[in-house]
Amino acid sequence: MQRLVVALLAAVDAAIAAAVGLAAILAPATVLWVFGFGGDADWGALWPAAGSVWQLGHLVPLDVTLPAEYLAAAGIDAAAATFVVSLAPLAFTVLTAALAARSGLRASRNEGWGAGVAAGTVVFALAATGIALSARDPVAEASVPLGIVLPVAVFAVPALLAAVVTEWREADVGLIARLRDGFEERTGAAGLAVAAETVRGTAIVVVGLVGAAALLLTVATVLRGPEIIALTQAGNADALGATMLTLAQFAYLPTVVVWALAFIAGPGFALGTGTEVAPAGTQVGVVPPIPLLGLVPESTTPWLLLLALVPVALGVLAGWVARSQLVATSGGADRMGPRLLIALGIGVFSGGVVALLALLASGSAGPGTLAQVGPSPGAVGLAVGLEALAGAAILLVLPRGASADDGRDEGWATDGPDVSEPGAHAWGADPSEWDEERAGPAPTLPAEADASQADTQPLFPRPGPDRGTPLD
């Protein structure tokens, strides 16, 4: 009964996730149809247009075919009438993924993660199928199989990951708990520590890079405000058009954040075939009159190459956190094997996650040179992986400095017995038993000293007239 309830709640979550994305598109589109097109509006085109945008936001490429009358009115070459748009507005992707992860987390904590993820995926697949079959737009047409598979993957993968991670961390019974216990039996506590610290370190690097990219984007917006205003004015859009353009740019804001991340990493990104925007140099052609592209600098300074130290610093932070956790929990901080595996894992997984983000934030944005826009996944992933690995290795692979606890190992040991062991003192386990073979005759107080004098006998007696100082 509990699994049935969890499945029903997950199905509701999936339906809400699909509906929220559609509503975020339909609301401004309806305003545009009413106030922009007025009495000449073709209401039959509203739903196909909204469905196409929803599919693009869920990574489905669109085959765009411009009508002949539009080409004639706009003076566009017929060779540019057909092209592919695959650069996704990742705001819709992030929204669906976040709602899916929340659903998977709730299903796991209610002890029905399998049923919850399955039910949510099925309902979202039904919604994606309905949109793919009903929102057929002759101007922007999407493949029906891709229009079903890719949106389902956007929902199912985060839901499954959130559920599995929660089960691994919190569950006491179940399939994932048995897999975790079996893994611990084969590898011991050190294996679990390596896996946990690798995941934690990867999260530190990736989240830190996203935050640094957002900060860089904010600073660039402030510094290049005049250029953004100039591009806005060059568009000659009215109030409604400017509002729609602003909303569209908000939809692409996560995409631009990933571009900034690629800029920090070093390889940068492209705004078309043969272009490059990177700290080492910028080479771009004519920029379309889109205000968001006003953030792109015409030239760069060599000082921007220091941005590559950001992933290294995040790797250092991840290594420090991992080593601190190893010292506090497993005590394996001085074993080279676990530390080396964690450092390699942070580098590999950080590079892999960033490469995936770069893949999602790249694609085609139009005809001609705009067929290649965004960062190169391989180059960005490799750069981040190496930088994070270098930073993590500084704290994880290199030996620690000496501390008070390991002073004997660093040359502070004396020739005497190890007083940390029971019975290692000169007087043995019982203070009344003095070991003369190890420490010589037992010290005695003067015979005339009573008990009270013995308790207050000075360490160094006051020197007399015929005696030197205690250090002589």
- Largest CA-CA distance found in the chain, in angstroms, rounded: 122
Cα 135 to Cα 54: distance, rounded to the nearest angstrom: 10
pLDDT, position 88: 94
| CA distances (Å), origin 341, targets 208, 345, 391 | 21, 6, 14
Give the rounded distance of the alpha carbon of 216 from its chain centre. Answer: 16
* pLDDT for position 455: 47
Q: How far apart are CA 279 and CA 304, in angstroms?
A: 5
pLDDT band at 401 (very low <50, low <70, confident <90, very high): low
Model confidence pLDDT, tens digit, residues 14-23: 999 999 999 9
Confidence grade of residue 433 (pLDDT, cut at 50, 70, 90): low
* Residue 464 pLDDT greater than 70, yes or no: no
Nearest to 21 by CA among 85, 84, 97, 86: 97
- Choose the weakest-confidence range: 124-133, 153-162, 184-193, 273-282: 184-193
Is the CB of residue 141 less than 8 Å from the CB of residue 63? yes
Letter for the amino acid at 67? P
Q: Which helix (H) or strand (E) holds 451?
A: helix 451-455
C-alpha span between 282 and 280 (Å, rounded):
7
Q: What is the dihedral of CA 152, 155, 161, 163, to 10 degrees?
A: -110
Q: What is the pLDDT of residues 289-340, one digit of tens each?
A: 788 888 888 888 888 889 999 999 999 999 999 888 887 775 544 677 888 9
Q: Is the Cβ–Cβ distance between 279 and 262 less than 8 Å?
A: no
Q: How many CB atoms lie under 10 A from the CB of residue 441?
A: 7
The mean pLDDT of 137-144, rounded to a whole number, is: 89
DSSP, residue by residue, 20-36: HHHHHHHHHHHHIIIII
| Structure-model confidence comparison of residues 274 and 202, the more confident one | 202
Euclidean distance between CA atoms 262 and 359, whole angstroms: 11
Helix H or strand E segment including 142: strand 140-142
pLDDT at 205: 96
Q: Are 332 and 193 in contact (CB under 8 A)?
A: yes
CA atoms of 158 and 356, how far apart (whole Å): 14
Instruction: Compute φ and ψ for 435, nearest 5 degrees.
Output: -90, 100
Q: What is the pLDDT of residue 408?
A: 40
- Asked whether residue 472 carries a pLDDT value surpassing 50, the answer given is no
- Phi first, then psi, for residue 83 (nearest 5°) are -160, 175
The encoded tokens of residue 132 equal 């793919």
Distances (CA, A) of 168 to 60, 192, 344, 403: 32, 11, 22, 35
Q: Indicate the SS3 state at residue 63.
A: strand
Structure confidence at residue 160 (pLDDT): 95
List the domain boundaries for the chain. 1-171, 187-400
Distance between CA 4 and CA 83 in Å, rounded? 46
Q: Is the pLDDT of residue 404 over 60?
A: no
In whole angstroms, what is the distance from residue 330 CA to residue 197 CA?
11
The residue with greater pLDDT, 62 or 191, is 62
The predicted model gives 178-201 an average pLDDT of 86
**Choice among 27-41, 241-255, 286-300, 392-406 with the minimum mean pLDDT:** 392-406
Classify each residue of 180-214 as buried b or exposed e, where b means 16 or more C-beta atoms within 10 Å of its C-beta.
Answer: beeeeeeeeebbbbbbbbbbebbbbbbebbbebbb
Band (470; pLDDT cuts 50, 70, 90): very low
User: What is the chain's length?
Assistant: 472
Residue corresponding to tokens 């089960």:
167
pLDDT for 453 beyond 70:
no
* pLDDT above 50 for 419: no
Torsion angle, alpha carbons of 73, 74, 75, 76, to 10:
-120
Residue 403: its pLDDT value, please?
43
Confidence of residue 1 (pLDDT cuts 50, 70, 90): very low
pLDDT of residue 24: 94
Q: Is the pLDDT of residue 151 over 90?
A: yes
**For 367-397, what is each residue's pLDDT tens digit?**
888 888 999 999 999 999 999 999 999 988 8
Average pLDDT over all residues of the chain: 83
Residue 395 CB contacts under 8 Å (≥ 6 apart), including other chains? 316, 319, 320, 322, 323
Spatial separation of the C-alpha atoms in residues 171 and 106, rounded to whole Å: 13
pLDDT in tens, 78-99: 777 888 999 999 999 999 999 9
- Please report, rounded to a whole number, the percentage of residues in the chain having pLDDT higher than 90: 47
**Dist. CA 78–CA 365, nearest whole Å:** 17
Question: Would you call 64 helix, strand, or coil by DSSP?
Answer: strand
Q: How far is the C-alpha of 68 from the C-alpha of 79, rounded, in Å? A: 11
pLDDT at 53 over 70: yes
Residue 240: its H or E element: helix 239-251
